[in-house]
Structures are given as C-alpha cells and as structure tokens.
Structure 1
C-alpha cells in the first residue's frame, strides 16, 4: 500500500468531506422537495375536495331550484287547466244566458205586440160610412156592426133593438144618420111603415145633405104605397125629384111617377 504524502492526504480527506457534504445536501434538498410536493398534492386534493363540495352544494341548490320550478310548472298547468274548465263553463253559461235573453226578448216583443193590439182596439178609430168620416170607439163600432149583421140575416127585431141601443148609448155617434136609415129599413121589414117613415124623416130633418137622404125619401114613398096612401107617395116622389134631381133615387122616382095614376083634382069649395 502506497502512502500518500500528508498534503495529498489532506486533499483527499477534504474531497471526501466535500463529497459527503454535497451528497448530504442533495439528500436534504431531495427530502425538502418531496415534502413540498406532498404538501402541494394535499393542498390540491383539499382544494379539489372543497371545490367538489362547493360544486355539490351548487348542484344540490340547482336541483332544488329545478324541483321547485317543476312543481311551479305543474301548479301553473293545473291552474291553466282549471282556467280552461272555468272558461268552458263560462261559455256554456253565456250561451244559456244568450238563449234565455233571446227568449225573454221574444216574449217581450210578443207581449208588446199584444198590448199594442189591445190598446189599438181600445183607441178610437177613424171610419168613413155612407160618405161621412168620423171617429168611433171600438164598442160603438161593435154595436153598429152587430146590428147591421142582424139586419142582413133578416132578424129585423134584433136589428132594431141593436140600433136603438147604439143611439141611446151614443146619442152623438157618427153612425147616427146611417142608424136612422137602417132603422127605417128594419121597420119596413117588420111592416111597421109608420115607424119606418119616422126614422127616414129623422134622417132628412137632421141631415138633408146626407148620402142616404135621397134613398130615404124613396123609401118613405114606398111606405106610403104600402099604406095605400098614393097621394102621399106621389108628393114624396115629387119632393125627391125636386130636392135631389141628379140622383139615381130621383130617376127611379120619375119612372114611378109615370106609372102612377093621375092625381085627383082638389075638391072645389062650395059657393056661399
């Protein structure tokens, strides 16, 4: 074994010491680096755990919100369905109300028409009879029409009663002249010639310009004829021709005068 000089030995010892120091320092550094890495890993894991927990919390809150929203949507759908049902029911009620309203309006219209008809029947009416225009009450018209219907049915007694009842109830009736005329005809039908003459004369005295006046004079002449009073009949026919010369009754009077026997001469007064 070769012995090294003291200087070399010291150098070798120093080198070994430096090497050992370097190796120890490297080992310590490696140990330090491993500890930091572990600590960093642990920090990362802890951070990840915290992040995961936070994310889980957020997901839980989000799921809760989603569930709440789902329940809200279900409630809204239920409310919408309820509103649809209410709307359909309301539409049905509206249709029923519309039909009821239409029915009420129809009944009101019918009632109004009925009332108007009743009022119209109660209101005076304007008529033109035998060339005379006047107003009459519905009952007044009914009495005259019923009496005339009796005469047309040859029920002269009922006709006379009806016309007299009309004149008593409505003494100023617009039917007055026509009633006198038809009373005369009714009495003539009953062979009550004097009563007939009185009725015809009443018309002539009160309304000489009435449309029935010429016919009344002709009827009076007929009554005198039935009574065998030819002179009175002749005078009446002559009166008719004189007062109403242009009427058909006057022409009939002229024709009848031609066939009547000549008037008897007036008796001469005895000389004193």
Structure 2
C-alpha cells in the first residue's frame, strides 16, 4: 500500500470521529484543511518510522561486518602464532643439533680428563639439560646446565654448557645470571664456535639490565674479534653500521 493510499485510508477512518455531526460543524474548506493536517501528520510519523527502521538496518549491517572482520583477525593471529612457534622450535632444534655435532668433534679431539668420569652419565646429564631447554623449561634447564658445570669441571662439553646456561637464564628473564655465563664463555673459551654468539648474548643481557653503554661495548668487541661471524652481522645492524 502506498503512503498516499495509507494516509487516505486513515483519514477515512478518523474523519467521522474527528468531525461528529460534520454537517453544520465544518464547512468544506475547514474539512479539507483538517484532512490535509491529518494526512501530513500521518506522513511525518511514517517518515520517522522509516528513518528509524533504516538506521536499525544500517547498525545491524555494521555489526555483522565488524563480527566478520574480528573473525578474520583472529584467524590471522592464530596463523601467525603457529608460524612463530614453528620458527622458534626449528631454531631450537637447529642449535641443539649443531651443538651435538660440535661436541662430537670436540670429544674426539680433547685429551682424556685427569679425573675419571662416567662418559655415559656425563652425556646423559648434558642431554637432559638440553631436552629441558628444547621443551621451553628455561629455569629448569639453567639449573641443569649449572649442575653439569659443577659435576663435570673438566668436561669437553663445558663451553657449550656455559653457553646454553646463559641462553636458558636469559629466556627465564634472569638476565644478570645469563650475562655471567655469556661472559665466561667469551673470556675463557674465545676460540670456541659459540664465543661470538656469547658476546651477542652478553650484549642482550646488558641491554635488558639497562646498561646501554656496556651493551654497545660488547657489540663493538664482537665486531672487532669475530668480524666474519653471523653474530657480527647482527651486531652491525644493532649498531647501525653497514
């Protein structure tokens, strides 16, 4: 039904009530004016109702659009979180595998320790600490490597044990302890393959402790001593050098 037809119908219904004993009360001019007034009033009410309905429809559409966008964002966050977890796991696996290979080479090249130790127990304790690190149990891994260095002071695994202890404590946010272990690696075993990364770890620990000057000094030392290492490339970026 059109608006005009609806208004006319309403007027037809309301007119008898609005004009009792129409004859003699309203003349034709007054009756027409009243009809126009009632029709206009009804039209305005219809306009307001339509405007309100349109606003509700637009709000509903906006809510549905927002729900759809939120769902997409959640999906993107889940994908990125999964990718980040996968990258971290691959990185840990890479370092642990590299460490195992290096330790096998060192074991074959190192002279026998003056104090007899059980090689099986030594390898078992070292691997147990590595497994804790791989599992993300950083504080437990830090304790494990710490105990290893105390139990096997002449072990060929000692440089690695100290390096991974630093890494574990850094991840556990024990940055002061992490810095101590990193510093020990780079000062006591400067020719070890992990020495460049130890200096980088030391710089990270110093930065986390608010020692920006010390961190810069460690990065400069890294560039000076191990210019061809991958850690040195990261140091260049940190220092803004090309």
Q: Deviations over 1:158-189 (max 9, x none)?
A: 21222122222211011100000000011101
Note the 1:6-17 alignment, pairs <5 A.
none
**Mapped pair 1:226 → 2:208:** yes
Cross-structure match for 1:191: 173
| Moved >2 Å (runs of 4+) | 130-136
Give the Cα separation in 2 of the matches to 1:214 and 1:128: 15
CA distances 1:116-147 after superposition (whole Å, capped 9, x unpaired): xxxxxxxxxx9742863347701100000011
Tell me what 1:212 maps to: 194
Provide the TM-score with structure 1 as the length reference. Answer: 0.46
In the superposition, relative to structure 1, how do residues 128 and 223 fare at CA in structure 2: closer, same or farther (>3 Å)?
closer
Structure 1 residues 221 and 127, CA gap change in structure 2 (3 angstroms):
closer
Counterpart residue number, 2:183: 201
RCO higher in structure (CA 8 A, sep ≥6) = 2
* Contact 1:131 1:211 survives alignment (8 Å): no
In the alignment, structure 2 segments of 5+ residues that lack a partner are: 1-99, 113-117
> What secondary structure sits across from 2:107 in the alignment?
strand
Residue of structure 2 equivalent to 1:236: 218
Question: Is 1:130–1:212's contact at 8 Å kept on the other side of the alignment?
Answer: no
Q: Distance in 2 between matches of 1:238 and 1:218?
A: 10
Distance in 1 of aligned mates of 2:219 and 2:143? 30
Task: Answer yes or no: is the 8 Å Cα contact 1:181–1:203 preserved in 2.
Answer: yes
Distance verdict in 2 for CA 1:246–1:168, change over 3 Å: same
Query: Which among 135, 147, 152 is matched to residue 165 of structure 1?
Result: 147
Partner residue, 2:107: 133
Residue 39 of structure 1 corresponds to which residue in structure 2?
none
2:136 is matched with 154
Q: Where does structure 1 lack aligned partners over 5 or more consecutive residues?
A: 1-125, 260-272
Which stretch shifts more, 155-164 or 213-222?
155-164
Counterpart CA distance in 1 for 2:189 and 2:152 is 17
Indicate the residue corresponding to 2:236 in structure 1: 254
The root-mean-square deviation of aligned C-alpha atoms, in Å, is 2.1
Q: Distance in 2 between matches of 1:131 and 1:257?
A: 34
Aligned length: 134
- For 1:193 and 1:230, locate their aligned partners in 2 and report how far apart those are by CA, in whole Å: 14
8 Å Cα contact 1:130-1:211 kept in structure 2: no
Matches within 5 A, 1:42-61: none
Q: How far apart are 1:157 and its partner, in Å?
A: 2.0
Cα distance in 1 for residues equivalent to 2:224 and 2:101: 31
Structure 2 counterpart of 1:178, from 160, 165, 176:
160
* Matched-pair contact (CA < 8 Å) for 2:149–2:162: no
Alignment of 1:16-27 (within 5 A): none
- Structure 2 distance, partners of 1:232, 1:159, is 27
| Alpha-carbon distance, 1:228 to partner | 2.0
Larger Rg: 1
